[in-house]
C-alpha cells in the first residue's frame, strides 16, 4: 500500500496504514455474500509525518468518534462494489480529514454592539412591554 500524500510537507507513510477487507452490507445480491469489498482502513495518527502538534491535536478532536481502542483512526468505505475503489475512497477520507485538521481556526474577536443597536434593542423591549401591558384587564391600565 502506498503512502497518502496530503501536501508537500505532510504525508501518511505506508507503515502507518493497516487495511482489511470485509464483507459489505446492503444491496448487491449474491455478490455481497462472496466478495469482501468493504474496506476497513486504520491509520496510526502518531506516525503521520510533517504534522504539527497543534494540527495533530485538532485531528484527534475531529476523529474522536472514529478512534479504536489503540488510538488509531478507523475509516470504513463500502461506497461501491469494487474493493479497489473503496480503498481509494477510504484513503481520500483520511486525506480530507487531515486537510481539515491542518486549517487553523480563526480566533473570534469579541465585538460590542453600536449605540444605535443598543437603542433599537431598548425601544423594542419597551414596545413589547407596552403590548403585554395592554393584554391586562381594562381597569388595570395606567
**Which position has the grid cell 381597569?**
139
d(C-alpha 82, C-alpha 19), whole Å? 15
Partners of 43 in the β-ladder: 17, 73
pLDDT at position 35 is 79
Pick the CATH number of 4-102 from 3.30.160.20, 3.20.20.20, 3.90.650.10, 3.30.365.10: 3.30.160.20
Give the residue from 5, 4, 10, 34 showing the smallest Cα distance to 22.
Answer: 34
Give the residue extent of every domain in the chain: 4-102
Checking phi first, is residue 71 left (phi over 0); if not, alpha (psi -120 to 50) or beta? left
pTM for the full predicted model: 0.71
Instruction: With cut-offs at 50, 70 and 90, classify the pLDDT of residue 28.
Output: low
Label the pairing between strands 11-12 and 4-5: antiparallel
Q: What is the mean pLDDT of residues 129-139?
A: 84
Let me know: does 95 contact 4? Beta carbons within 8 Å: yes
The larger pLDDT score, comparing residue 124 to residue 16, is at: 124
d(C-alpha 140, C-alpha 142), whole Å? 6
How many alpha carbons lie under 13 Å from residue 8 in its C-beta half-sphere?
0
Amino acid at each position: 500500500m502506498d503512502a497518502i500524500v496530503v501536501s508537500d510537507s505532510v504525508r501518511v507513510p505506508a507503515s502507518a496504514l493497516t487495511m482489511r477487507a470485509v464483507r459489505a452490507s446492503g444491496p448487491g445480491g449474491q455478490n455481497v455474500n462472496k466478495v469482501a469489498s468493504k474496506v476497513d482502513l486504520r491509520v496510526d495518527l502518531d506516525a503521520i509525518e510533517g504534522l504539527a502538534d497543534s494540527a495533530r491535536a485538532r485531528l484527534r478532536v475531529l476523529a474522536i468518534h472514529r478512534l479504536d481502542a489503540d488510538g488509531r483512526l478507523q475509516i470504513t468505505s463500502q461506497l461501491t462494489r469494487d474493493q479497489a475503489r473503496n480503498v481509494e475512497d477510504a484513503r481520500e477520507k483520511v486525506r480530507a480529514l487531515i486537510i481539515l485538521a491542518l486549517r487553523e481556526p480563526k480566533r473570534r474577536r469579541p465585538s460590542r454592539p453600536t449605540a444605535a443597536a443598543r437603542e433599537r434593542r431598548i425601544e423594542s423591549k419597551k414596545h413589547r412591554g407596552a403590548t403585554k401591558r395592554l393584554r391586562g384587564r381594562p381597569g388595570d391600565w395606567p
